[in-house]
Amino acid sequence: MMYQSRAASIFNNTMTMQNDGVALYHCDSVSLHNNNFSWNTSYGIRMFWTDTCHIYQNNCAHINRPLTDPSDCGAILLIVSNNNIVEHNDLSYSGDGIFLGQYQHSNIPNNNCFAWNECSYSPHNAIEATFAGGNVYRHNSCNYSAYGFWLGYSFNSVVDSNDTLWFWVRTIKQPQYGFQYFTIRVGDDHGDYYKYTASPSLLNAANLSWKQYRFPLAGNTQFTRSMAGTMSLEQVNYIEFRPDTWDYGFTMWVDGVQFHPCTC
């Protein structure tokens, strides 16, 4: 544990099979890199009122509580910790990959940057941020989790290129009763697929007008993911758009369909 430390460097350490890997309380300007903080039961990295740190190339995988709710542990925790850079870390297979929150201090901007982190395989949220403002999430892998992102009560966030599916859509619906159902399937050639269920209002909004939509392949509250069979994104060989209407007859164009993977 480090308390009120400044301009320190922590590197090439192994701190596993315990409660936390490392805890930083009221610290600033710490460089934390090339450490093994995996297989702990609370947090790989715990930060409390700690600012302007550079956290990179650490192994914080498999931070979990095997017998209790996984939502109360995580690979990295940031509580009222601001202006930090967290990049190129393995945060996978953890209760949360990243968890940060300001709680009663949401008037203090976070302005943290999270980039190129592996946050997949969380039984809870790959990335969770609550009451947090001004954070940037770019090129993180957030797959195979209960939720890719959970940004409740957060604001001024930038979420960019975090394993997403992008597409443009334009519809013609006559007469104007609208769509009643909209799903997207991403599947393989063995009958397995992910089904993303979205509001039909997205297609209604695209009537006679091109609209672009994007969503994380881990799913979110707008595109809820379910699975049939044993689907894996490594085996994808088709994408299928499945709309339905209240009556009959519609035209739908789809263009610019593309994956935005997290590859360097």
* CATH number of 104's domain: 2.160.20
Place of tokens 């190339």: 57
How does residue 260 score in pLDDT terms, banded at 50, 70 and 90? Answer: low
Shared-domain flag, residues 154 and 198? no
Name the residue range of residue 252's domain: 164-260
Pairing of strands 193-198, 224-228: antiparallel
160 or 185: which carries more pLDDT confidence?
A: 185
What is the average pLDDT value for the chain, to the nearest integer?
A: 90
pLDDT 10s digits, 109-153: 899 999 999 998 898 899 999 999 999 998 888 887 888 888 888
Residue 104: predicted pLDDT: 86
Average pLDDT over every residue of 14-21: 96
Q: Are residues 212 and 115 in the same domain?
A: no
Is the predicted pLDDT of residue 68 greater than 60, yes or no? Answer: yes
Does the pLDDT of residue 3 top 90, yes or no?
yes
- Please state, in angstroms and rounded to a whole number, the distance separating the CA atoms of residues 182 and 167: 14
Residues 97, 67: contact at Cβ < 8 Å? no
Residue 199 has pLDDT above 50, yes or no: yes
- Concatenating the DSSP letter of every residue in 169-233 gives EEEEESSTT-EEEEEEEEE-TTS-EEEEEE-THHHHHTBTS-EEEEEETT--SSSEEEEESS--G
- Domain check: are 140 and 29 in the same one? yes
pTM for the complete prediction? 0.67
Within this chain, do residues 190 and 156 fall inside the same structural domain, yes or no? Answer: no
Residue 213: CB partners within 8 Å, gap ≥ 6?
A: 166, 167, 168, 169, 198, 202
Specify the range with the lowest mean pLDDT, choosing from 16-20, 112-116, 154-158, 260-264: 260-264
Given a cut of 50, whether residue 263 has pLDDT beyond it is no
User: Span 50-68, mean pLDDT?
Assistant: 91
- Domain end residue (candidates: 114, 133, 160): 160
123 and 218, same domain (yes or no): no
Residues 222-254 have pLDDT tens digits of 899 999 999 887 788 999 999 999 888 899 999
Domains held by the chain: number: 2
Which residue has better confidence, 158 or 86?
86
Distance CA 94, CA 119 (A): 8
φ/ψ (deg, to 5) at 205: -70, -20
Residue 261 pLDDT level (bands cut at 50, 70, 90):
low
Interacting residues of 130 by C-beta distance below 8 A, sequence separation 6+:
100, 101, 102, 103, 150, 151, 152, 153, 154
Do 71 and 180 sit in the same domain of this protein?
Answer: no
* Cα distance between residue 197 and residue 170, in whole Å: 18
